Structure 1
């Protein structure tokens, strides 16, 4: 077996797992984990996903206008430059194609099983392995398990009276119906977040009337988007040093503009206030002669409280005659339309829910029960003790389990940058377990708690928990009032902490029955 976890024959009392590693999720998190396992010489792994194709968020989200909202050069893995991206901000179809590019470049296709939903998993303390259950009733065993289900996984539908009685078309942006003809329809959109600002201009192009129900406005900055010349694209693909310099420059910009201001804003409060005043002036400049509309669209919270958004069309869309911005609260939804608090009924044909996802909510993160040592269930533990994980990757009492997008793991910016860091962390720990002949690796309580305390201390001082973001309803703060979806650090600290964590922070143990027969390492090169 070509794997760095090559084992001696098991004793009669032992159980050999089906796989060394099972990765849950075939989005970029699972793909990145698969690459790191290949690089570590570990090839007996399986990536499972409930969907019919790979790509995760970029497979599910295909609504009109979907695209990355940070420069394309940073929304990619450092080791695999995208070959097809045509614009500074790549459209969704090209991002999905990039996922296929990485899978094929690293020979992951044969290690992926689609249309397979994980419904639960339990740690077997006696055998030192995980038993995962699928929606077909199958039980799959593995020595290690990696949760690579992204944060934007479970769509959130609005909890509005009567929504189930609406007789027209209801669609969530994460489940777009491309067979339905939206042209000439009266369309209503609930939500004005990062997804809605991409979708609304596209719907305005085809709707006979478009009504947008806004609970909270969003900060939008102009989108410096342009086609990437073929020569420039070739240089980016083939000249590694130049690509790394550009990525580093973008990283520094994000660290200062998002992580720096958000995490360390208490040291520079004037910058936040200045950005808010400047943003308001920018809105007025983009909507000349429409001061009342600009006021409706301008947030009363600071820029950076929510995920930064870019668009050249969003604000101007509301100046079109057939587009209406409604800021009155929705009272209920009837069979024919939406009723607002003032009693007005707006009749519609289509109701579009751009209402986001359930991020770090009880019962949805993780979206299946995981039972570790001593019968501890992960979701219940997080609900009771608050969301926490060492470097966003590992949790005490959950041996051989690693997370790609765990609590306090994501330094705001590019998810792919985080995935590189956390997947390398997991692969490094797994490979070290093989080197030591260990069948179980678990984060120790003390280093885990020290990391959690640091995140809590920093988190309490972040902009997201300050008065500047009090009315933002940001998903950066979960239902417990913690900024758990965000790692309160710079990208450099995220990279450093995951790449060079001390192995002394983990305990490595062998199952007693196999202590006399240690793991036999066989280092092999990554198969591509």
Structure 2
């Protein structure tokens, strides 16, 4: 006899993902008085990026006094740029404090969903066939969660160990091995120096040189951490100093890319101080405007490249063999282990979504044709009651993404409140409002360093449009998301003959006042 299918799981709000976005959304719902929600997570533990990335040297490139929830400050961070175990531990502490674990269903990889117009509900399905029915659905999957490995010819023929940096195989012994690293992005500049002493030889394949700036990490003394805990206003001042210092870069990146020449001077000076070989200096000096790709920081990366053990290869990779990597010049570079530091699927991770909205609109197909876009990066026309945290054009090149997450969570809560206040069951942005918003956003981005800086980055789609980053200061986004504008939305009433399942509702609360600091949402 065939096993009986499990009954659908009903909830008011379904949150997909348990990283910073998903956990923050759950906590905000509890604080707002909505207890009827579930968080579904594809893995067996919370944490998202900070669960998956365990490569040697993995750390945050934003000071963690800012890269943390404003409502859950921590005074005992050990370093200015905290490493993965400490950030992962922080998230687990937050889960324990707010009792979130009982709200999370692990091992639920969501694969598709559709809006039922008669029921005015979302139906979402996991890979194991479990069905979830929800009034609101919140995507908190983030952008950097699907590793991207180029389809090099012969990749399957390589006989050694090979893995992506986000799926680090700690069971592979690197001691004395010939290790090839493909990619020189944010992850590689962290793990390359960490594995150098262990490997026998290191070959780094560089397609595009990154801008790497000095970054002296600070280990906080016990006295300083005690002062943060006991001295009124000190932690607040530190967080705000970091925030406003980071905001300075937004003007140059979005309005005056020519001002970034000063950053290029600093980067070239950093190379000259740490690399003596003129040929290597030339090879690692970028030929595009600083900031066009993500600015990186390290005091150990260039010395690792200059080490006698290391060879930097700039020729294009042609194919892989059983014993190594062959470049376009015909040279085979032997390797025992290959580590792919090749980043993630970002824009195409959105277009691959299997989501169907009103009137059968296929979201992935629409975004493939029209480009990935949303209203204020959060809601999408024809997708009622669907919200995307860290959606299109809400990434950053200069500040803490946690600030953007908290701004979006506030907007989502306001949307839910306004649905209830108007006696509706759903809302969706008007297509005209969404189009106006994105036209203005792309107009601003057209003069940004990401669009004019002379490089090709993962920020841009195949048409050269920036679908990833925000176009200005983060405080401007904060202002835009303080209150949902009803005229930009269509409010949808209940279906005539469809019973609505009783749910816990949001309490009506006054809008938050302008905070004393923009670094605390």
Paired residues of 2:119 and 2:495 also in contact (CA < 8 A) = no
Residue in structure 2 matching 1:369, options 312, 333, 354? 354
Report the Cα offset of residue 352 of structure 1: 0.5
1:478, distance to aligned residue in structure 2 (A): 2.2
**Alpha-carbon distance in 2 for matches of 1:26, 1:231:** 34
- Residues 514, 38 of structure 1: alpha-carbon distance in 2 compared, 3 angstrom cutoff: farther
Secondary structure of 2:333's match? strand
**Hey, what does 1:7 align to over in structure 2?**
none
Shift of 1:239: 5.8
Aligned twin of 2:448:
462
Q: Measure the CA separation in 2 of the matches of 1:232 and 1:42.
A: 39
Residue 498 (1) aligns with residue 481 (2): yes
CA distance in 2: counterparts of 1:67 and 1:43, whole angstroms: 34
Question: What is aligned with 1:218?
Answer: 210
Match of 1:276 in 2: 264
Matched residues in 1 for 2:12 and 2:504: separation? 14
User: Shift in Å at residue 164 of structure 1?
Assistant: 0.9
User: TM-score, structure 1 length as denominator?
Assistant: 0.90
Contact 1:17–1:129, Cα closer than 8 Å, also in 2: no
- Other-structure match for 1:4: none
Q: Are residues 1:166 and 2:174 paired?
A: no
1:354 aligns with 2:338: no
Structure 1 residues without counterparts, runs of 5 or longer:
1-15
Shift of 1:414: 1.4
Change (3 A) 1:303 1:140: same
What is the TM-score with the length of structure 2 in the denominator?
A: 0.91
Once residues 303 and 283 of structure 1 are traced to their aligned partners in structure 2, the CA distance between those partners, rounded to angstroms, is 14
The verdict on how the C-alpha distance between 1:234 and 1:448 changes in structure 2, with shifts beyond 3 A counting, is farther
Q: Does 1:425 align with 2:416?
A: no
* 2:472 matched residue in structure 1: 489
Residue 141 (structure 1) aligned to one of 117, 124, 133: 133
What secondary structure does 1:95 align onto? helix
Aligned CA distance change for structure 1 residues 366 and 35 (closer, same or farther; 3 Å): farther
1:72 is aligned to 2:64: yes
Partner Cα separation in structure 2 for residue 19 and residue 497 of structure 1: 29
Please state how far the C-alpha of 1:521 moved relative to its aligned partner: 4.9
Describe the SS at the equivalent of 1:499: coil
Q: Distance in 1 between matches of 2:53 and 2:69?
A: 20
What SS is found at the alignment partner of 1:423?
Answer: helix
Q: Alpha carbon RMSD of aligned pairs, Å? A: 2.2
Give me the whole-angstrom Cα distance separating, in 2, the residues matched to 1:509 and 1:239: 51
Deviation at 1:264, TM superposition (A): 0.7
Q: Secondary structure, in 3 states, of the residue corresponding to 2:146?
A: coil
The offset of 1:253, in angstroms, is: 1.9
| Contact 1:77–1:416 (Cα < 8 Å) also in 2 | yes
Deviations 1:142-198 (A, max 9, x none): 000001111101110022111110000001001111122111111000000011000
Does structure 1 retain, via aligned residues, the 8 Å contact 2:351–2:372?
no
Correspondence for 1:379: 364
Of 471, 477, 491, which aligns to 1:508?
A: 491
- Could you say which residue in structure 1 is the equivalent of 2:436? 450
| Residue 320 (structure 2) pairs with residue 337 (structure 1) | no
Question: Which residue does 2:516 correspond to in 1?
Answer: none
Equivalent residue in structure 2 for 1:265, among 256, 270, 282: 256
Partner SS, residue 183 of structure 1: coil
Alpha-carbon shift at residue 98 of structure 1 (Å): 1.2
Structure 1 residue 52 and structure 2 residue 44: aligned? yes
What runs of 5+ residues in structure 2 fail to find an aligned partner? 1-7, 510-521
Q: Identify if the C-alpha distance between structure 1 residues 84 and 178 changes in structure 2 by more than 3 Å, giving closer, same or farther.
A: farther
The Cα shift of 1:515 comes to 9.8
Query: Could you say which residue in structure 2 is the equivalent of 1:303?
Result: 290
Aligned partners of 2:266, 2:185: CA distance in 1, in Å?
Answer: 20
The Cα shift of 1:109 comes to 1.2
Residue number in structure 1 paired with 2:5: none
What is the Cα deviation at residue 524 of structure 1? Answer: 9.6
**C-alpha separation in 1, matches of 2:418 and 2:283:** 56
1:441 aligned onto 2:432: no
Does residue 132 (structure 1) correspond to residue 124 (structure 2)? The answer is yes
How many correspondences in the alignment?
A: 501
Pairing 1:400-415 to 2, within 5 Å after superposition: 400-412=385-397, 413-415=399-401
Offset of residue 508 of structure 1: 2.4
**Shift of residue 439, structure 1, vs aligned partner:** 1.0
Post-superposition offset of 1:52 = 1.3
Structure 2 match to 1:523: 507
| Other-structure match for 2:515 | none
Contact 2:75 2:235 in 1 (8 A): no
1:323 corresponds to:
310
CA gap of 1:169–1:522, structure 2 versus 1, over 3 A, is closer
Contact 2:12/2:503 (CA < 8 Å) preserved in 1? no
Alignment of 1:20-169 (within 5 A): 20-82=12-74, 85-169=77-161
Cα-to-partner distance string for 1:260-294 (whole Å, 9 max, x where unaligned): 2111126xx2x12343234223311222x322211
Select which of 456, 478, 482 maps to 1:473: 456
C-alpha distance in structure 1 between counterparts of 2:281 and 2:38, whole Å: 51
The DSSP-based 3-state class of the residue aligned with 1:253 is helix
Which of residues 363, 372, 375 is equivalent to 1:390? Answer: 375
Secondary structure of the corresponding residue to residue 256 of structure 2: helix
Question: In the alignment, is the contact (CA less than 8 A) between 1:411 and 1:490 conserved in 2?
Answer: no
Seen in structure 2, the aligned counterparts of structure 1 residues 239 and 434 have a Cα distance that, compared at 3 Å, is farther
**Alpha-carbon distance in structure 2 between the residues aligned to 1:465 and 1:114:** 39
> Does residue 399 of structure 1 match 2:384?
yes
Residues 411 and 494 in structure 1, CA contact (< 8 A), matched pair in contact too = no
C-alpha spacing 1:327/1:356, structure 2 compared with 1 (3 Å): same
In structure 2, the residue corresponding to 1:236 is in which secondary structure? helix
CA 1:89–1:186: 2 relative to 1, 3 Å: same
Q: Aligned partners of 2:312 and 2:238: how far apart in 1?
A: 39
Counterparts in 2 of 1:443 and 1:240: CA distance versus 1, 3 Å: farther
Alpha-carbon distance, 1:520 to partner: 8.3
